[in-house]
Amino acid sequence: MSEVIHADHHDDHDHGPAKGLKRWLFTTNHKDIGTLYLWFSFAMFLVGGVLALVIRAELFQPGLQFVQPEFFNQMTTNHGLIMVFGAIMPAFVGLANWLIPMQVGAPDMALPRMNNLSFWILPFAFGMMISTLFMEGGGPNFGWTFYAPLSTTYAPPSVTYFIFAVHLMGASSIMGSINIIATILNMRAPGMTLMKMPMFVWTWLITAYLLIAVMPVLAGAVTMMLFDIHFNTSFFNAAGGGDPVMFQHIFWFFGHPEVYIMILPAFGIVSHIIPAFARKRLFGYTSMVYAVASIAFLSFIVWAHHMFTVGMPLAGQLFFMYSTMLIAVPTGVKVFNWISTMWRGSMTFETPMLFAIAFVVLFTMGGFSGLMLAITPVDYQYHDTYFVVAHFHYVLVPGALFSIIAAVYFWFPKWTGKMYDETLGKIHFWLSFVGVNVTFFPQHFSGLAGMPRRIPDYPLQFADFNMISSVGAFIFGLSQVFFLYVIIKSIRSGQPAEGRSWEGAKGLEWTLPSPAPYHSFTHPPVVKDEEVLG
Amino acid sequence: MASSARVDKSIYFVPESGWYPVFLAFGLMVMVTGLAGWLNDVSAGGSGDSTQSLIGFAIVSLVLYSWFAKVIEENTAGLNNESVQRSYIWGMGWFIFSEVMFFAAFFGALFYVRTFVVPWLGGEGDKGITNYLWPAFEATWPVVQNPDSALFENPGQSMEAPGVTDVSAWGAYLPFYNTVILLSSSVTVHFAHDAIKAENRQKLIGWLGFTVLLGLVFLVLQVAEYIHAYQDLGLTLGSGIYGSTFFILTGFHGFHVTLGTFMLLIQLFRALRGHFSPKDCFGFEASSWYWHFVDVVWVGLFIFVYVL
């Protein structure tokens, strides 16, 4: 290898990106990689969305209309897996890539080549996973939680590909998280102490820690599955002294921190947007940091609340019920602080703010249904019903997803140098807001009345709620295609944006011009308290 | 190559672009899809074909070789300032933490089985009703009589350590020797580190070479132990939960020892080529942290898998 190493001149750092496909394949730039992550997650979001619409189309009326139960199971399973691992998580990593180096005053991510690797593993992993749908015997059909023995003894042969795809996704997440932690801990501009870090950076620091702690546990779980399937071990088979319930314990030890991985960065985003449009400093910054840390800690000791009906000692049920309820305290602190930030602020309601306020209201509703589910005896009634489906869609769709959309609108001018079209943005918001509630609110009622989840057919008594829900799903799905239109139109013909694109926006990224230069801060900026603390 | 005098040390080195990552991702995909196809074919009664997975493995190895060579080259050229070095340190530290959590999953499975599952299957405790499934099953650890021995053949014997007083049996007990070997190797790798600090290259090569040798002896003994288990004791992956936990824990540990030995071997080659100085020996340090990590895991294994 005889190439010249390009770091010996200052001006080498000022030149722009390479041209063509190579730029995207070989890039080490945090902005390019962030863009790749965001577009990839949007593509996966549309794929997962199509699967969701297959589900809702089938459930529009009782009886079997379009698909067979075997195929329906593959739809629910892959919808969940694609949305969790392909849409929400990569979207947050994309935002982290774009924002963290700019927000801490760094030139790039700490380990730029590994950053590229974390991204490029994903298209291959999801290519593998989606290809299983076309294999003999079909794709994964055991639910996104892949409980043994459905995923071992009774699984289609394609499960082996699924297992390796999960291994690859886990490796990608772990490397991405190591990179984020190294960037935050090592590359902050002088003067940016930990307690002056922007909330998005704080939430991602803690999220990355959660990811490194639990992704390997998921790898362990699928490895034991692999051995049970191919090497005759009996981890999840009682006939050999193992236990299928043990799979659930290991899965949810990963799974519960995982659901906070999908919401903590959302907390960070909302903590930037609300102060900007209320034109006030974030209320209770310190308590926000401690609340996120407490939620992360609690996430490790609540996992068995997903398994109350599967059978466990009474002491276990009590412990997991109370520890789960405890999470409402730090979460309540956060909701209180967001509302207090808005209190007597000079508020305006641009699109990102609308999505952020909808987040606070609807996420809180999802939180309350979560509290209901935490009560063990009551959970016996709710478990595996549409009430659970309504609960986690309320925290994931108007929760995690709305925060991502809000972030896209909020930082869009910084990324592209263009403003989006405010009218179109507001139309997108109201369509999404109506769509999401029409889809998921009725599911509370069908769930409380006893409609089980993951079934392609149901008794006539649930027909009305399901019909409304399906109509809402199609409204919501189409409004996300509209979102794509808004974004592309704004990139092509938006009005030029200023460096500080929003009057009330604070933070180092807003001190840069829009669009941000290819290399953000080659030399660390001066950190002023009024800038970073709002 | 850039001379180090021209390098601006205040700039955090960001490589312009690189072909390694995307090829590595591609190689990994080729390797694991090949492996999945191979496993599925064998499990379906076919003969299996490992070609694709080996091609994938070759791609992965080649890319990793070039990637690491490039990083070492950049480091020699003086591009990595102190801040970059700190990123590497954080990176390796958190990578080892992720490995700790990987083993935690298997240790967790072992503890859950021993504390809850086996007693319940034997009719004791809160979920003792499980005993109705196989009323003849008795809870013991190691499990030498499986609940359904038609599905999972009983192991002939376990790998349990001999009693404290049984000195002659310890003399023939391989895991005991392996413990001594691995613990000593952690000390010898530390001596090698001291030699770098003292800029004594001969000592460095000597102690590092000795550490690699101890790693290899450990691996040979573990292979011997596995052969003994399969051939003499009738203890296999398929002999119920005892065999499952035993082989997955010791097997993944052995795999990590293999990796660690390989890493140390690379550092030995680098030491022979004159790499490493007291202030610049991250490759060596990272490998030695990894080595201490596999050592600590082994102590956990020895206590919870063999002795208790």
Q: What is the ipTM of this complex?
A: 0.95
Q: Select the residue of B12, B101, B121 nearest A216 (Cβ to Cβ).
A: B101
**3-state secondary structure at position B44:** coil
Sign of the CA dihedral running A283, A284, A288, A294: negative
Q: How many residues does chain B have?
A: 308
Cis peptide before A515 (omega within 30 of 0): yes
Q: Over 90: is that where the pLDDT of A139 sits?
A: yes
Q: From B126, which residue of chain A is nearest by alpha-carbon distance?
A: A313
Q: From A219, which residue of chain B is nearest by alpha-carbon distance?
A: B102
Q: How many residues does chain A have?
A: 534
Please name the helix (run of DSSP H) or strand (run of DSSP E) that holds residue A178, with its range, or none. Answer: helix A159-186
Confidence at residue B221, expressed as pLDDT on a 0 to 100 scale: 96
Over chain A, what is the mean pLDDT? 94
Confidence at residue A534, expressed as pLDDT on a 0 to 100 scale: 60
**What would the two tokens of residue A49 be?**
């969305």
Distance from CA of A54 to the nearest CA of B (A): 28
In order along its 308 residues, chain B shows pLDDT tens digits of: 344 445 677 788 888 888 999 999 999 999 999 999 999 999 999 998 999 999 999 999 999 999 999 999 999 998 888 899 999 999 999 999 999 999 999 999 999 999 999 999 999 988 899 999 999 999 999 999 999 999 999 999 999 888 878 888 888 889 999 999 999 999 999 999 999 999 999 999 999 999 999 999 999 999 999 999 999 999 999 999 999 999 999 999 999 999 999 999 999 999 999 999 999 999 999 999 999 999 999 999 999 999 98
- Structure confidence by residue, pLDDT tens digits, A441-478: 999 999 999 999 999 999 999 999 999 999 999 999 99
The predicted model gives A65-92 an average pLDDT of 97
Confidence at residue B7, expressed as pLDDT on a 0 to 100 scale: 63
Q: Over 60: is that where the pLDDT of A1 sits?
A: no
The predicted model gives A225-253 an average pLDDT of 97
The CB-side HSE value for A126 (13 A sphere, CA atoms) comes to: 22
Backbone φ and ψ for A143, nearest 5 degrees, come out as 85, 155
Tell me if residue A188 is catalytic.
no
Confidence at residue A531, expressed as pLDDT on a 0 to 100 scale: 82
The predicted model gives A317-344 an average pLDDT of 97
The predicted model gives A7-33 an average pLDDT of 75
Return d(Cα B100, Cα B94) in angstroms, integer: 10
Q: Is A234–B244 a contact, with Cβ atoms under 8 angstroms apart?
A: yes
Residue partners of A21: CB distance under 8 A and separation at least 6: none
pTM (two decimals): 0.95
Q: What is the 3-state secondary structure (H, E, C) of A306-342?
A: HCHHHCCCHHHHHHHHHHHHHCHHHHHHHHHHHHHHH
Catalytic residue, chosen from A158, A271, A403, A514, is: A271
Catalytic residue, chosen from A77, A152, A158, A331, is: A331
**Confidence class of residue A170 from pLDDT cuts 50, 70 and 90?**
very high
Confidence at residue A11, expressed as pLDDT on a 0 to 100 scale: 43
The predicted model gives A126-151 an average pLDDT of 95
Confidence at residue A8, expressed as pLDDT on a 0 to 100 scale: 41
**Nearest partner of B139 among B157, B117, B154, judged by Cα:** B117
Return d(Cα B182, Cα B261) in angstroms, integer: 11
**Nearest partner of A89 among A333, A344, A263, judged by Cα:** A263
Q: Select the residue of A5, A123, A157 nearest B2 (Cβ to Cβ).
A: A5
Q: Locate tokens 């959660």: which residue?
A: A210
